[in-house]
Amino acid sequence: MLAMNYRGPYRVRAQHKPDPVIEHPGDAIVRVTRSCICGSDLHLYHGMVPDTRVGHTFGHEFIGIVEDVGAGVQNLKVGDRVLVPFNIFCGSCFFCQKELYGNCHNMNAESTAVGSIYGYSHTAGGYDGGQAEYVRVPMADVGPMVIPDDIVDDDAVLLTDALPTGYQAAEMGDIQEGDTVVVFGAGPVGIFAAKSAWLFGAGRVIVVDEVEYRLEFVKNYAQCEVVNFKDVGDMALHIKKMTDWLGADVCIDAVGGDAAGSMAQTLTGRLMKMQAGAATVLHWCINSVRKGGNVSIVGVYGPTFNMVPMGNALNKGITMRMNQASVKRHLPRLIEHIRAGHIDPKQIITHRVPLEEVADAYHIFSSKLDNCIKPILIPPRAHEIRAVKASATI
């Protein structure tokens, strides 16, 4: 099969690999019809996450058609159109029972640090991802969801990560009616976090970024105010000026370790790797939120250390919540929002790129070229139609 292949920082290519096979009775093989490049993939692409191995296939946002199932699979059949949450989870451990699917304790040898994720570094289990023609899906009775007939592919693929993560970012902010919410980052997750903030009752939403076309997009898509941090001297002071000198009720970090905006943080976190990514936005969140306010973190940082102003957080009485999104928990409600017209995920897709051109797609997305908001990859076999033999009882 054709698959994205990681060759080292800033080096990816489309390359042929062996087709995945059923390794366990609970596995399924899915023929990928859509996969996305996520901002989290760029952390891998930039060499920010430890134990990202040469030869690995990225891609934790994908949908497809079930091609084969293991003997133990009961909830899926060949031919089903499925979306696959980016979390790989068992469904039965202590954390899964609490619907903390991003914290599953059974699917990753390093589960005390992180759950399992398709196509991420080997700290997240080392499972190959969906930027390929085919992918092996473990625990196929637990993770995948058959896509309802009225949900189109372009919406479904954004339900695998980007939309649920933005939605959970707003949820973890514990937004109360009328709250002022500041979202740092106008990438796909930040865009969805801003849109979702209104669904939770926000009275004012402000998005901060440095790229003008992204700010213009989120301003129109999420009906929010925008701030270009390049035009601001002191971010916390600026937010306080905008909020009667109190600070925002909720601040959301939708950026993570690749953040720009501080030369010291960039040097220590991104270039010298003395900490697990630039903690610029963590500082902005802690210093911009009001006393007693909430900080929600969904931006990705590499394990295990960052320089964070915990004294400020303590003295201000801030509540901080963070996690990988538990995608499957949010799917029923998000599908309701899509059906009701409250949110149209597919509007953020700006680029559709053949899998064969994956290196160009990463370059465009990483370098913010051609007004790119969200690229999706189309594998060569995405549009194949295969006859499914129906079994008959005589």
pLDDT, position 17 = 97
Residue 64: how many CA atoms within 13 Å on its side-chain side? 36
Strand stretches in 223-282, DSSP E:
225-228, 248-253
Residue 388 confidence (pLDDT) above 70: no
Task: Kindly report the pTM of this predicted structure.
Answer: 0.94
Q: Hey, what amino acid is at 196?
A: S
Q: Is the pLDDT of residue 389 over 90?
A: no
**Residues 278-301, mean pLDDT to the nearest whole number:** 96
**What is the maximum alpha-carbon separation in the chain?**
77
Average of per-residue pLDDT across 71-88: 97
Contact 325, 177 (CB under 8 A): no
CB 18, CB 132: distance < 8 Å: no
From residue 389, alpha-carbon distances to 67, 140, 326, 348, 394 in Å are: 12, 21, 35, 37, 15
Residue 243 contacts by C-beta under 8 Å, 6 or more apart in sequence? 180, 290
pLDDT above 70 as % of the chain: 97
Mention every residue, 6+ apart, whose C-beta is less than 8 A from residue 6.
Answer: 12, 44, 52, 53, 54, 55, 56, 57, 58
Nearest Cα neighbor of 277 from 257, 249, 295 is 257
pLDDT at 326 over 90: yes
pLDDT in the model for residue 144: 98
Judge whether residue 385 has pLDDT over 80. Answer: no
d(CA 151, CA 338): 8
The pLDDT value recorded for residue 386 is: 61
pLDDT higher than 60, residue 390: no
pLDDT at 113: 78
Q: What is the pLDDT of residues 152-189, one digit of tens each?
A: 999 999 999 999 999 999 999 999 999 999 999 999 99
Q: Provide the token pair at 378.
A: 């189309």
Q: Is the peptide bond before 123 cis (omega within 30 degrees of 0)?
A: no
Mean pLDDT of 253-282: 91
∠ Cα 31 32 34 (to 5°):
155
| DSSP letter, residue 148 | P
Q: What is the mean pLDDT of residues 1-14?
A: 97
Which of 93-97, 165-169, 255-259 comes out lowest in average pLDDT? 255-259
Asked if residues 81 and 146 have their Cβ atoms less than 8 Å apart, the reply is yes
Query: What does the pLDDT read at residue 49?
Result: 87
Model pLDDT, residue 111 = 81
Q: Which region holds residue 54: left if phi is over 0, alpha if psi is between -120 and 50, else beta?
A: beta
Range of lowest pLDDT (44-48, 89-93, 341-345)? 44-48
Structure tokens at 47: 């060499």
Average pLDDT over residues 109-124: 90
Cβ–Cβ under 8 Å, residues 213 and 187: no
Q: With a cut of 90, say whether residue 110 has pLDDT above it.
A: no
